[in-house]
Structure formats: structure tokens, C-alpha cells
Structure 1
């Protein structure tokens, strides 16, 4: 059986360094066997993958790519918290997605699949998770998507 790190390699994904917080919060908190990862933006090399809102200039495909980039940044925070060992993840418990969008935009679920599909693949068979996705007026730095996560770890 392959490890999460091996699956990332097979997918051609190299995790970036874990981003430092930009406000008064910590990126990861562990309580008992649960690990909470603060919301991550779709930053690639320190810059937003794209700016704007879904349904107002940002395509669904770009939004899905942003959600995937958010999850990659979640993995970087997770890897840092677990001292490099993603195999300690017992279950992806929940993902929470925030999508900056026009008031009439309703395609939130397919956008969030960018994060969910990657979680399911990297942590198979323990990557399926509960989820909520919410449309919002705006996000930090004019990001179109932000994703947070909860993991059970050993």
C-alpha cells in the first residue's frame, strides 16, 4: 500500500514550505487526536493563483484549481505539524470551503471538489470526509477560495 507522500509524488506534487500566519492565529492546533488546520489560501510561490470572485470573472475551473491549491497548502501545514509524516493521518474528518462569489453563483460544490478530490486521492481509503462549502462576499487578499480542514491523527 502506498503512503500519502508516495501518492503526492505520483501526482507530481511537491509541497511548499508551510506558510507563516498573516494575522493573530496559529496555522495548526491539535487537541487529542484531532488536528485543525486554519484556512489556507490558493498561494503558489507566495502569490495568489488568481484573484477575484466566482461568477464575476473567475471561471469554475479556475476556482476548482484554487481549491486544489488550498488543499496543497493544507498538506504543507499538516506535514510541518506532523514532522514530515503524513502517514500519521488516520482520517480526513472535515473540509470547510469558502468561495468568494457573485450573489447568484450556485456552483459551490464543484469548485470545492478541487480540494475534496485531492484529499480523497492522497489519503485513500481514509480521505473521504464531511464537508461544507459557503459562498461569501470576500476573502483575504481578494482570494476566490479558502479551505480549512480537520484530521484525525495517530
Structure 2
């Protein structure tokens, strides 16, 4: 299988500089062989790219794009955690996706697929993971989606 970096390039993805935390937390914490990546929102060039609620003006497709952007930002944090060598990832263990949604919105898992599908595309079978997809009333900066991950590394 090609390296994660090659696969990202083939997908037309350039990882951004990891976002700096906006409150009292770290972007990631490594303990032993696990990296816990804090929740990432769909920020592009310093601005939230998708705001609002699913079921209330944000389409499923835009929600999936937001989840993919969140996953790209998770990968940026992970890239920093691995010393810029994503080949050190042995397994994406757990992904949690939070989706700002109206109370009657039921496609939350489909939204979070935007992140899960990217992890699988970049890491192959090592990118398949356990997951939770949770609908919430509101997210930081009115973001439509937030994604966090636990990843095993060498």
C-alpha cells in the first residue's frame, strides 16, 4: 500500500498547519502508543468553512464535506504527533463525530462518514475504526461538525 502521504497527495490534500487550541487544552496528547486528538472543526485558512445545523439549512453533502475537513485537521494534528510521518500510524482506533443538528435530524451517522471515509482512504484497513456519531445542539464557533480521534502509533 502506498504511504499515507502519497495517498493524501493523490487525493489532492495538503495538510494544514495544526490549529492552535482556543481554550485550556492541547491539540493532541500522546501517552504510550496512543495519540488522543482533540476535537477539530472544519477550519480552512483560519475560518470555519461550514456553520449552522444539519436539518436547519446545512445539507447532508455540506455536512459530509465539513466532517472531511475536520478529519483533515485531525490528520494535521496527528502528523505533528508522529514527527511528520503518518506511516507510524498502526490503527485509527476510535473516532467520535459531533454534528450540530435540529432535534429531528436522523442522518448524523451519514454526516460523520465524511471523516470515516477519509481515514479509510488514507490508512486502508488501519483506518477502519470504532465510532460514535452524536447529534448536538451547538458546537464551538457555530461549526456544523466536530471530530476527535484516538490513534495507535509506533
**TM-score (ref. length: structure 2):** 0.99
Task: Quote the Cα distance in structure 2 between the aligned partners of 1:143 and 1:23.
Answer: 16
SS in 1 for 2:148: strand
**Partner residue in 2 for 1:91:** 91
**Partner residue in 2 for 1:133:** 133
Q: Deviations over 1:47-70 (max 9, x none)?
A: 111210000000000000000000
**Partner residue in 2 for 1:110:** 110
Structure 1 residue runs without a partner (length 5+): none
Task: Quote the Cα distance in structure 1 between the aligned partners of 2:125 and 2:6.
Answer: 14
**Partner residue in 2 for 1:34:** 34
Task: Quote the Cα distance in structure 2 between the aligned partners of 1:100 and 1:125.
Answer: 29
Structure 2 residue runs without a partner (length 5+): none
Aligned-pair Cα RMSD in Å:
0.6
Task: Quote the Cα distance in structure 2 between the aligned partners of 1:125 and 1:40.
Answer: 23
Task: Quote the Cα distance in structure 2 between the aligned partners of 1:34 and 1:132.
Answer: 18
Q: Deviations over 1:2-47 (max 9, x none)?
A: 1000000000000000010000000111111111000000001111
Whether 1:62 aligns to 2:50 is: no
What number of residue pairs does the alignment pair up? 154
Q: Deviations over 1:96-131 (max 9, x none)?
A: 000000000000111000000000010012110000
Q: Deviations over 1:59-92 (max 9, x none)?
A: 0000000000000000000111111000000000
Task: Quote the Cα distance in structure 2 between the aligned partners of 1:153 and 1:108.
Answer: 28
